[in-house]
A and B are shown apart, each in its own frame.
Chain A
Amino acid sequence: MPEANRPQFRNIHVTEIARYRLPLAGFVSILHRISGLLMFVLLPFILYLLDNSLTSEDTFAYLKGFAQYPFVKLIILALSWAYLHHFCAGLRHLLMDVHVGLDKESAKNSALGVFAVSIPLAALVALKLFGVF
C-alpha cells in the first residue's frame, strides 16, 4: 500500500467527541481529569472558605450566610462531586497500580463501582445542601 493511502489513527479531534463512544472506564477517566481541573481552578474559592471558617466568630457567621446563596450551594455541590469522583477514581487507579482488577471485565466493574459510590454520595450532599434533611 502506498504511504499516502495508509489509514491513520490519530488522537480523536474535538469535532469527533460528540459521536465517539467511550467505554464506562473512559468516562471515569475523562471525568477524573475534568474534576481535577475544576478543583484546581476553584482552589482560591476553597481557601477563601477555609479562611473565613477559621479566622473568627464573625467571619464564620458571615460564611454561614454566604453559603445560603443558591449559586454558592451549586459551586459547593460541584466541588463535592468533583472530590468524590476524583477520590473514588483515584482509589481505582491506585489498585490498578498494584495490578488489582486489570482485566477487561473487572476494569468495567470497578468503573461502575466508582459511579455507584460517587453519584449517590454527591446526591446526598445535594439533598443536605438544599435542605431536604
Chain B
Amino acid sequence: MADNNIGPKRLVVGAHYGLRDWLAQRVTAIIMAVYTLILLFKFLTAKEFSYEGWAGVFAAQWFRLATLVVLLSLFYHAWVGVRDIWMDYIKPVALRLFLQVATIVWLVGCAFWAVQILWRA
C-alpha cells in the first residue's frame, strides 16, 4: 500500500480515516439522543404550546450552548454518513471529491446559520 500511494496514485478520497470517524459518529449519536430526550421532555411538560413558552426554553444561555453543541455534533455526524454514501455510490474521483467538498461547505454554512438563529434574540 505504501508503495502505490505516491504521486498520481495518492489516495485523495476514501475511508482511510478508520477508527476516529467511526467513534465520532457514535459519540455524536449519543449526544443527539440525550438532547432529543431533554427537548421531548421540555416539549411534553409544557403547559401550552405558545411562542413565550417555546422561546423561553431557548432563552437560557446553557440551553443555547447545548443546542449548538448538538447541532455541531449533527453536522459532524452527517458529514461522516453522507461521505460514506458518496464513497459507496460515486465512483469517478473528481465528482466524488466535488461532492465531498460541497458537503463540507454546505454543513459549515448550516453551522453559522444555526449560530445566528440561536443568538438572534
A residues neighboring B (CB under 8 Å): 33, 36-37, 39-40, 43-44, 47, 50-51, 53-57, 60-61, 87, 90-91, 93-94, 97
Contacts and interface: CB of A to CB of B under 8 A. Distances in A.
A57 B29 CA distance: 32
- Please classify the interface of chain B as helix (H, G, I), strand (E, B), loop, or mixed, using the class held by over half of its residues: helix
Given A33-B85, A36-B82, A54-B121, 11 more contacts: A33-B81, A40-B81, A43-B78, A47-B110, A50-B117, A51-B117, A54-B118, A87-B33, A90-B29, A93-B29, A94-B30
Interface string B89-121: 000000000000000001000100110011011
- Please classify the interface of chain A as helix (H, G, I), strand (E, B), loop, or mixed, using the class held by over half of its residues: helix
A47 B115 CA distance: 11
B55 interface: yes
Given A55-B120, A55-B121, A60-B54, A47 B114 contact: yes
Interface residues of B, number: 21
Interface of B: 26, 29-30, 33, 36, 51, 54-55, 58, 78, 81-82, 85, 106, 110, 113-114, 117-118, 120-121
Contacts of A43: 78, 106, 110
Contact of B33 (A44, A47, A60, A91): A91
The 8 closest A-B pairs by CB, nearest first: A60-B51, A51-B117, A36-B81, A57-B51, A40-B78, A90-B29, A43-B110, A40-B82
- The interface centre, meaning the residue of A33, A43, A56 with most chain B CB atoms within 10 A of its CB, is A43
A54 B60 CA distance: 13
